[in-house]
Structure 1
């Protein structure tokens, strides 16, 4: 039995590419005497059987985009999620509206379920949302921004990446955060905080940053707090960049407590910054 428009509405485990999977299922099992109830799925089956890319150019390109799983797919899916129209996406991504529609209908059928936010989160972002992002999870990060529903914000996230991207770069999240990056500090800080959606209790560095943030609130003047917050963002960005590149090889020394009572916030912040500098240099952490 193949999936249909009726059955997928009752199946929370239906992937967004279910129509393409139906076409592949019927192609790989000719004995299945069933006819897809969507024209686009029937066309996909014909495309698979004939291999005629000239008859189905948009489908052929859509399949390439889906299988290569690179920047083109990441941008296309995020823009579909955020609710941009086929014409808007086509203009921004330099495609035809027909190609965008074919991709959305065959490989990323999220428009069929506009209110299924949990389902979209599961399949468009997946494990990184719960366990943290790795460097190769760029598509999942863009999809997360797409799920936020802010079209202009997503445009900024994607364009900032392309502005920073170099010809020899791999499509990774660390491009945003590298030391030479020209990406706006505010966006870098947002990306850095998104890498760990939930607190990572196994990492002592996360406790250090939590303590760091607490200390900033104890500074006496607003000017001190603003300055310290900027330094915090820079330190956080550097740390997350090292994490994404697999360079976090040590943990800070064990703290007996994280109480701020009777301690100078300025002095404590400097101690944390010294530990972070040591981490950056690969030196032993100062006590």
Structure 2
């Protein structure tokens, strides 16, 4: 029997860590001696049965990263989502390419999903996108930015976090919004909108995203994106910071039927990608 790491036809509801889940189930069942066609899943079964860290060091390290659910996992998953290679991710996360490869295959198998989808949103961001991000949802926030497929923006989102980490005692999403933060106001506005999605939008999220992209790329800001932030823009950032840090309770705003309805997440992402493509075409 030939062993392969080619992804088989999967149940569309299978989570990104389906291989690890399968290995756990098999290692604890009467099928533990069965030889699987999928090499990495077979290796995971053997590791779980033997607990031999020396024989399977990459699986051991990948498992530790997954279970600790810290900054390394958040950054690696976001960079996988945004489409970066194992080599690029290894440099950013100070890991070996082998560990990144094993992690993606065992715990975060999403690379076969090449376009925005509800499946990706469900398994990488989940309920916070609809109910509001909490202070501990850093991994989900980075995943949300990664889903837009723009590595330059994700780099800045992650870089801004580590920069602010040196100047505040905050550790969660609030690090982006704390008073005196040096985080760009457009990025703060987008994060504030993620924290309080139940408020009527004060601005078009995709326009703010594109303006931020143009800023970090040192491109001329498009005329239609040059609208300066209003006082409400800054007030929303303050409210979001309060929600994250003090348990501030907010009453869901009553929607005015004349206000525009927010696009679905997939439509929002596709709209941004389409506008970026048009921008690149116009500049060539």
Aligned to 1:182: 182
How far apart are the structure 1 equivalents of 2:246 and 2:168? 20
When residues 170 and 29 of structure 1 are mapped into structure 2, their CA distance, relative to the original with a 3 A threshold, is farther
When residues 96 and 155 of structure 1 are mapped into structure 2, their CA distance, relative to the original with a 3 A threshold, is same
C-alpha displacement of 1:141? 0.7
Aligned to 1:161: 161
Cα pair 1:40 1:105 within 8 Å, conserved: yes
Q: Establish whether residue 233 from structure 1 lines up as the match of residue 233 from structure 2.
A: yes
How far apart are the structure 2 equivalents of 1:60 and 1:170? 30
Residue 236 of structure 1 aligns to a residue in which SS?
Answer: helix
Over alpha carbons, which structure has the higher Rg? 1
Cα pair 2:18 2:107 within 8 Å, conserved: yes
How far apart are the structure 1 equivalents of 2:250 and 2:94? 45
Give the 5 Å matches for 1:125-144. Answer: 125-144=125-144
- Provide TM-score, normalisation by structure 1: 0.71
C-alpha displacement of 1:116? 6.3
When residues 108 and 169 of structure 1 are mapped into structure 2, their CA distance, relative to the original with a 3 A threshold, is farther
C-alpha displacement of 1:117? 2.1
CA deviation profile, 1:107-140 (whole Å, cap 9, x unmatched): 0000133246221111011111122211111111
- How many equivalent pairs are there? 230
Cα pair 2:138 2:173 within 8 Å, conserved: yes
- Provide TM-score, normalisation by structure 2: 0.72
How far apart are the structure 2 equivalents of 1:246 and 1:37? 51
Give the 5 Å matches for 1:34-49. Answer: 34-49=34-49
When the two chains are superposed, the root-mean-square deviation of aligned CA atoms in Å is: 3.0
Structure 1 gaps of 5+ residues are 201-205, 212-224, 260-287
Aligned to 2:104: 104
When residues 171 and 15 of structure 1 are mapped into structure 2, their CA distance, relative to the original with a 3 A threshold, is farther
Kindly indicate whether structure 1 or structure 2 has the higher relative contact order, using CA contacts under 8 Å at least 6 residues apart.
2
How far apart are the structure 2 equivalents of 1:98 and 1:167? 34
